[in-house]
Chain A
Amino acid sequence: MLSDYAPILVFLGFVLLFAIGVPSLSAALGPRKPSPAKDLPYESGIVPRESARRRFSVSFYVTAMLFIIFDVESIFLFPWATIVRQLKVFGIVEIGIFIATLLVGLLYVWRKGALRWD
């Protein structure tokens, strides 16, 4: 039921109050002595030459894409998991085909080298 989530809304309010209030409090109480050196990002003592927002390894993109695929599968597995007993053999065959497809897909990206980091 939707009313089950009403306490969560109230809880969310308190959590927001805490998560926003605490850093504001420290911003209000802490000292403020700006200096040019404090404005620079930390790079182990070297003065930074360029912006940090540059291109990064393609493996991160690949991981993100694979994540989307497999995470959507887990959403299909949860409803099935709650009614395994009612579906009996029919459910097993269906989910067996589903998971086998997934495993073949995983094997494919594995063999293609999408999971390699170097």
Chain B
Amino acid sequence: MIGGDEWWVLLIKIVVVVLGLVTIAAYLTLAERKVSARIQLRIGPNRVGPYGMLQPAADAVKMLFKENTAPSNRDRLLFLVGPSLAAGAALLSFAFIPLGINNWFNYQFHWDVGHANVGLLFILGVSSYGVYALFLGGWAANSKYSLLGGLRASAQLISYEMAVAFALIGAVIIAGSLDLEQIVHAQQGAWFIVLQPLAFLLYFTGAFAETNRAPFDLPEAETELVAGYHTEYSSLRFGLYFLGEYVNMVVVSSIATTLFLGGWLPIFPFHPFDWIPGPLWFLGKVAVLIFVMMWVRWTFPRLRYDRLMSFGWKVLLPLGLVNILITGTVVALRA
């Protein structure tokens, strides 16, 4: 027994989660290209396989056989650490996210790799490692574009990390727990997006900055910084940064689903909605959020960097603190 599972159950879970996340991330790149194509009245990738369905596989194979070029005066160790850390931190932060609970023949099956009473803190902590990945990778390359991209990325990520944490506290106050499964159970009456609309809005806005996506994609603003922190990366090292970015999209959408959209709970708690299994509800909600993120990216122009930073510090942060105070007061007085 490891945690709550037999060792072979845990092994299957881990393999499914790692391969599943990588596959989902690969197909999100295709989805992104298809969505952007639709928005810009193009067709998008449609040559490799039916509807371009094999495009991600073709991209992966191509990247695998490309040369690893790198500037010769780089910091050799940190240059290698950057991409691995970016993908690793993103994958690891998915470990505690619960996709559902099933009871089969008196055996309680949890759809997650592990569960702990401070699951939310663990996710916040591990995803912070992504900052190191972007900054170390950008600094190690010894290229001006990379350095500027890395600097911008780290300043942006740490600024919005607080805004995001403060937004999540609103939901934690109502649930009274940091255990992600208990937070979902607490939403059986009403999803927290109903009780905490402001917190959801703050979190989701901050999530765009946390995943470096437009309109907050300043770290890799191609018109000024070429490709930002991964300018000097090629082959699958670049692929790992890309993978980390898309896995991060899945992670932030999963956190938003767990804390605000009722996790694996169906929209209405009666037939026929509860015939659909919980994990499918969860993935469906995540898919909707990811689609919104893509939709926003291809709709809004990029912000200026000073506006981005002042938006985080002067709007999201104070609003988050005020939200915590109001929520805490209401909950404490009603207890």
**Chain A residues proximal to chain B, CB less than 8 Å:** 1, 3-8, 10-12, 14-16, 18-20, 22-23, 25-27, 29-33, 38-44, 48, 51-53, 56, 59-60, 63-64, 66-67, 70-71, 74, 77-78, 80-89, 91-92, 95-96, 99, 102-103, 106, 110, 115-118
Contacts and interface: CB of A to CB of B under 8 A. Distances in A.
Given A7-B95, A82-B178, A91 B328 contact: yes
Contact of B226 (A7, A31, A44): A44
A31 B65 CA distance: 7
A86 B173 CA distance: 11
Q: Is the interface of B mostly helix, strand, loop or mixed?
A: helix
Nearest to A51: B142
A38 B64 CA distance: 19
B166 to A, nearest CB: 6
Which of B5, B226, B313 neighbours the largest number of chain A CB atoms within 10 Å of its CB? B313
Interface of B: 2-3, 5, 10-11, 13-15, 17-18, 22, 63-69, 71-73, 80, 83-85, 87-88, 91-92, 95-96, 113-117, 121-122, 139, 141-148, 151, 154-155, 158-159, 161-162, 165-166, 169, 172-173, 176-178, 226, 231-232, 235-237, 239-240, 305-306, 309-310, 313-314, 317-318, 321, 324-325, 328-329, 331-333, 335
A42 B151 CA distance: 17
B87 to A, nearest CB: 5
A5 B114 CA distance: 7
Contacts of A38: 69
A7 B158 contact: no
A81 B235 CA distance: 45
A12 to B, nearest CB: 6
A1 B226 CA distance: 47
A48 B147 CA distance: 14
